Amino acid sequence: MRLLFIHAEDFSYQVRDKAVENPEPLTPDLERGSAKNVLVVFMSVEEGDSEDPSYISYVTDQILDVLNRVKASQDSPIPVCAPKPKPGKPQ
């Protein structure tokens, strides 16, 4: 799993186009958003990443550790698929 952390004073997004063939359903309240003093976490799952609850707990702890260190008001996890040799399969 790859994590990219960005601590931003202001962050906003707006959905433009589908990025994958079969995206999850999108509700109107998720089409756009914004936040202040936010920790944006871009996440990508790679082939071979564990689904073991202890691994998921470890990743969660890492995110919370950074969130607390930068004193962000909230976090905003964003799944991404960056070009890499072995991305994980969508579920």
Which CATH number covers residue 57? 3.50.80.10
Q: Give mean pLDDT, residues 52-68.
A: 87
22 assigned to some structural domain? no
26 assigned to some structural domain? no
63 assigned to some structural domain? yes
17 pLDDT tier (thresholds 50, 70, 90): confident
Q: Is the model's pLDDT at 74 over the cut of 80?
A: no
Two tokens at 32? Answer: 């756009």
Quote the CA–CA distance of 24 and 20 in Å, as a whole number: 9
Q: Give mean pLDDT, residues 13-22.
A: 83
25 assigned to some structural domain? no
**Number of separate domains in the chain:** 1
Quote the CA–CA distance of 32 and 15 in Å, as a whole number: 6
Quote the CA–CA distance of 19 and 2 in Å, as a whole number: 19
Q: Is the model's pLDDT at 58 over the cut of 60?
A: yes
Q: Which domain holds residue 82?
A: 1-15+32-91
pLDDT for residue 35: 86
pTM of the predicted model as reported, rounded to 2 decimal places? 0.69
Q: Is the model's pLDDT at 85 over the cut of 60?
A: no
